[in-house]
Amino acid sequence: MDNQSPALQQLADQVIRANERKTALEIRGGGTKAFYGEAACGQMLDTRSLCGISSYEPTELVITARAGTPLAELEAALSERGQCLPFEPPRFAPGGTIGGMVAAGLAGPARASVGSVRDYVLGITMLNGRGEMLTFGGQVMKNVAGYDVSRLMAGSLGVLGVICEVSLKVLPVPPVSATLAFDLGEADALKMLNSLSANPLPLNASAWYQDRLYLRFKGARAAVRSACETLGGSQLDCDATAWWESVRDHHHPFFATKSANDAPAQCLWRVSVPDTAAPIALPGEQFIEWGGAVRWWRTNASASAVRQAAAQQGGHATLFRAADKSAGVFSPLPNPLMQIHRQLKQAFDPAGIFNPGRMYPGL
């Protein structure tokens, strides 16, 4: 990345001034994920001036883009060459950026089969809390030595630094896709998902909602056809692509927080558990993804009840959307892990100016 670019220099100067004055900065791209995490505060640092695809090598399956580049622009460029971001980053609304995608670290329906955002980050250029430009990783998988800081930035919610440029691994779009639907209760659906994980089927995504299990297969034509013939079920009775897009971007009706009469709107929780975990009993409505590893709950249950239910199954719960986040968005960390978080924050942002409190108090 050109360290002399006016846009980059302007951001660096803003960081240096904030560091000198101990002024908090709220790092913001398109703002489409501003709801995620704790409430942000501070002077706005807008990354959208850092835009454009720096390089794209389709034959090498690598693309590099500046942080403010619209996600839609990058996906359009990949689509022209029959390639994609296989982890299906949720967009939620128009205007999301590449930097925000990495900082949030969120993945869509295919996450369980293809990996997370972190798995596709090859390199990152960033500004630390002193306004210094740092580069980690590169454009190939084998050039990482020491701490893999580039992947550490995935899911960091901007508390460690300002992402300026990202190199990502991309993949070809699978040639064939098919979605099957099965009428199954929760227990039977989880049992089927667990049995499928032991079979060599091109299962790309799964979802269960209102006693119906949806399975999406992607891959070679013969493999997808064989899976469909083996499992039976019925073809999804609507536009399958649009249906999965609604799940990816949380436009599916389930993900809308709802209230009846004057009752408070339900909170949306993401409960992460082992995919073999038993059904979780909570009041409200549930949507299951990732082979059973993510149980979305729309509920008015207390935060302690939701987190206890998750912990009993060996998992944890994140308050994804809520009007009141006083109970904390992320599950409390054990002291040793929190100490590591604090040490990383001190190393990259010693004055604590970047998105303070966005993940945990004091970070």
| Cβ count within 10 A of residue 141 | 10
Predicted confidence band at 236 (pLDDT cuts at 50, 70, 90)?
A: confident
Q: Which residues contact 66 (CB under 8 A, 6 or more apart)?
A: 1, 50, 51, 52, 53, 54, 98, 164, 165
Up-side HSE of residue 98: CA atoms within 13 Å toward CB? Answer: 29
Average pLDDT over residues 35-41: 92
What per-residue confidence (pLDDT) applies to 289?
98
What per-residue confidence (pLDDT) applies to 197?
83
Check residue 354 and report its DSSP letter. Answer: B
What per-residue confidence (pLDDT) applies to 258?
63
Predicted confidence band at 146 (pLDDT cuts at 50, 70, 90)?
A: very low
Has residue 145 got a pLDDT over 70? no
Query: Residues 164-183: pLDDT tens digits?
Result: 999 999 999 999 999 999 99
Share of the chain above pLDDT 90, in %: 87
What per-residue confidence (pLDDT) applies to 137?
82
SS3 for 19-83 is: HHHCCCEEEECCCCCCCCCCCCCCEEEECCCCCCEEEEEHHHCEEEEECCCEHHHHHHHHHHCCE
Angle at 171 between CA 168 and CA 175, to 5 degrees: 160
Share the mean pLDDT of the chain.
93
What per-residue confidence (pLDDT) applies to 140?
54
Structure tokens at 3: 């360290």
Place of tokens 């249906």: 243
Has residue 237 got a pLDDT over 90? no
What per-residue confidence (pLDDT) applies to 362?
79
Check residue 331 and report its DSSP letter. Answer: P
Average pLDDT over residues 208-234: 95
Query: Residues 41-95: pLDDT tens digits?
Result: 899 999 999 999 999 999 999 999 999 999 999 999 999 999 999 999 999 999 9
Has residue 100 got a pLDDT over 70? yes
pTM value is 0.93
Nearest of 276, 256, 274 to residue 265 by alpha carbon: 256
Average pLDDT over residues 294-302: 96
Q: Is 130 or 236 the better-scoring residue by pLDDT?
A: 130
Has residue 333 got a pLDDT over 60? yes
Q: Which residues contact 131 (CB under 8 A, 6 or more apart)?
A: 12, 13, 15, 16, 19
Note whether 258 and 298 are within 8 A (CB). yes
